Amino acid sequence: MLSKRRWLAAGAALAVAGGGLVAAQTATAGPAPRKCPTLKVTKGWYGKNRAALQKMIDERGTCAGSGGARPVATFDWDNTVVKNDVSDATLAWALRHDKVLQPKSWKATNKWLTADAHRALTKACGTSVPAGRPLPTSKNTACTDEILDVYQDAETSTGKKAFTGTWNHRRTVPEYVWITQLFAGHSPATLTSYARQARAENLKAPIGTEQTVGTHKMAGYVRYYVQQKDLIRTLKAAGFDVYIVSASAEPIVRAWAPGVGLDRDHVIGIRNLVDDGRLTTGVQGCGDVKATHGEVLTYMDGKRCWINQEIYGVKGAKAWQQQDRAHRPAFAAGDAETDVTFVGDATGAHLALNRNKAEFMCRAYDNSDHRWLVNPMFIEPNERQADPYPCATTGYTRPDGTLGPVRRADGSIVPDQQDRIHG
């Protein structure tokens, strides 16, 4: 697929270089443009967003008769294509069904896990279960609660820091890595099967359902957004090559992607290393970063790297850089900081679902290229954020974790933005 994409792009470039005669011959011999497919779902789209998306499809789809490589569309998954988080849903199901395996050492699960977290997890979960065997988390509430405290709050149940050290805050988050590392010892297929069972349970539960896991309250339902299913269907019919790029573990997202008509080859997620058929705590790298323990994820700038590497075949350090327009997605959609880089890279339209995430909404509302489309979440949308987003001061997260102003491509500072499009 990659070689075909590059071949088509090269062919288009040669046609342009060939001058007017080639252009005239192409215009005469090429098929007549056909009508592009249309979006069917009208409810839920804010203002003129649906019309703007249709215009982008009509202009950029192969249905427009422009020839060349198929345009690419990229979607985040959690809270972008579906309401709620499929990693959370799978972890909740696994904890309620005793599917998390006892590690050899909690400290060995994650390079940033603190000694305090190691001790708290060891005390709560015990040492009587042999390494590699299932922990009785359905009955051991203390163990389940400690795992969820570390994952959700990055703290132990007594409020001590669960992760420490140095990491690039635009490439990874220790908690995001850790949830994938909790499934070490299972095969990728087994994890996908757990995700399918969690999927069936969460799709069946009424909207608004909460579940109790340990003593924690968690969302107990997930829904596909019908608007996004319709958009993906229409993009595919219009000739777009559509991908999911998620900060969830790839085997989990594979259980959900068929619900919007996408196969496993169009899912890019966190890819844990596999040894002897089983997932490990190691994580595949990207670009010039080799396999690690999670220093690089499909997160923020990491999503750009994975898109460049896996879809466009860009290798090495160059994969971290924004590519030329011919090697960037035409469309991208997301909902949070984890999506800000790849959604901003899109050349045709950027769809931002409003979850009140500062840097993402600063860029969306600033709308510097006039291609950002802001939409409230389609189910249980957030209310208006009262205070302006602090774009000019602390809206941007630097690689070292400190905060600074959000800047445009030309270096100018984005002014603070009012929350204007909300539930």
Instruction: Judge if 208 and 69 occupy the same domain.
Output: no
**Residue 98 is encoded by which pair of tokens?**
């005793």
Give the pLDDT confidence of 199-249 residue by residue, as tens digits.
Answer: 999 999 999 999 999 999 999 999 999 999 999 999 999 999 999 999 999
Instruction: Judge if 254 and 329 occupy the same domain.
Output: yes
Do 176 and 186 form a contact (C-beta atoms < 8 A)?
Answer: no
* Residue at 423 is within a domain: no
* Residue at 266 is within a domain: yes
Instruction: Judge if 70 and 117 occupy the same domain.
Output: no
Instruction: Judge if 247 and 142 occupy the same domain.
Output: no
Pairing of strands 241-249, 72-75: parallel
Instruction: Judge if 231 and 151 occupy the same domain.
Output: no
Do 70 and 62 form a contact (C-beta atoms < 8 A)?
Answer: yes
The HSE-up count of residue 16 (CA atoms within 13 Å, CB side) is 8
Q: Which domain holds residue 388?
A: 2-80+224-272+322-404
Helix or strand run (H / E) with residue 275: strand 272-275
Give the pLDDT confidence of 7-66 residue by residue, as tens digits.
Answer: 344 444 433 344 433 333 334 444 545 689 999 999 999 999 999 999 999 999 999 886
* Residue at 279 is within a domain: no
Helix or strand run (H / E) with residue 158: none
Instruction: Judge if 329 and 241 occupy the same domain.
Output: yes
The backbone torsions φ and ψ at residue 351, rounded to the nearest 5 degrees and listed phi first, read: -100, 120
pLDDT at 406 over 80: yes
Pairing of strands 272-275, 278-283: antiparallel
Do 234 and 226 form a contact (C-beta atoms < 8 A)?
Answer: no
Q: How far is CA 105 from CA 98, 132, 160, 204, 334, in A?
A: 18, 11, 19, 37, 36
Read out DSSP for 177-237? Answer: HHHHHTTTTS-HHHHHHHHHHHHHHHHHSPTT-EEEETTEEEE---EE-HHHHHHHHHHHH
pLDDT at 416 over 60: yes
As for how many domains the chain has, the answer is 2
pLDDT at 149 over 70: yes
* CATH number of domain containing 249: 3.40.50.1000
Instruction: Judge if 186 and 67 occupy the same domain.
Output: no
The predicted structure's pLDDT at residue 68: 79
Give the pLDDT confidence of 322-341 residue by residue, as tens digits.
Answer: 999 999 999 999 999 999 99
* Residue at 69 is within a domain: yes
* Residue at 379 is within a domain: yes
Instruction: Judge if 228 and 367 occupy the same domain.
Output: yes
For residues 275, 265, 334, 248, the Cα torsion angle rounded to the nearest 10 degrees is -20
Give the pLDDT confidence of 62-96 residue by residue, as tens digits.
Answer: 998 867 789 999 999 999 999 999 999 999 999 99
Give the pLDDT confidence of 154-186 residue by residue, as tens digits.
Answer: 999 999 999 999 999 999 999 999 999 999 999
Diameter of the chain measured on Cα atoms: 79
* Residue at 282 is within a domain: no
Instruction: Judge if 60 and 91 occupy the same domain.
Output: no
Q: Which residues contact 389 (CB under 8 A, 6 or more apart)?
A: 358, 361, 362, 365, 395, 416, 417, 418, 419
Please give the residue that has the higher pLDDT: either 18 or 414: 414
Instruction: Judge if 49 and 184 occupy the same domain.
Output: no
Instruction: Judge if 16 and 95 occupy the same domain.
Output: no
For residues 207, 196, 338, 301, the Cα torsion angle rounded to the nearest 10 degrees is -160
User: Tokens 């090559």 identify what position?
Assistant: 241
Q: Which residues contact 260 (CB under 8 A, 6 or more apart)?
A: 81, 224, 228, 229, 232, 233
* Residue at 290 is within a domain: no
Helices vs strands, H then E, count in the chain: 13, 14
Nearest in space to 299 (alpha carbons), one of 279, 275, 283, 316:
283
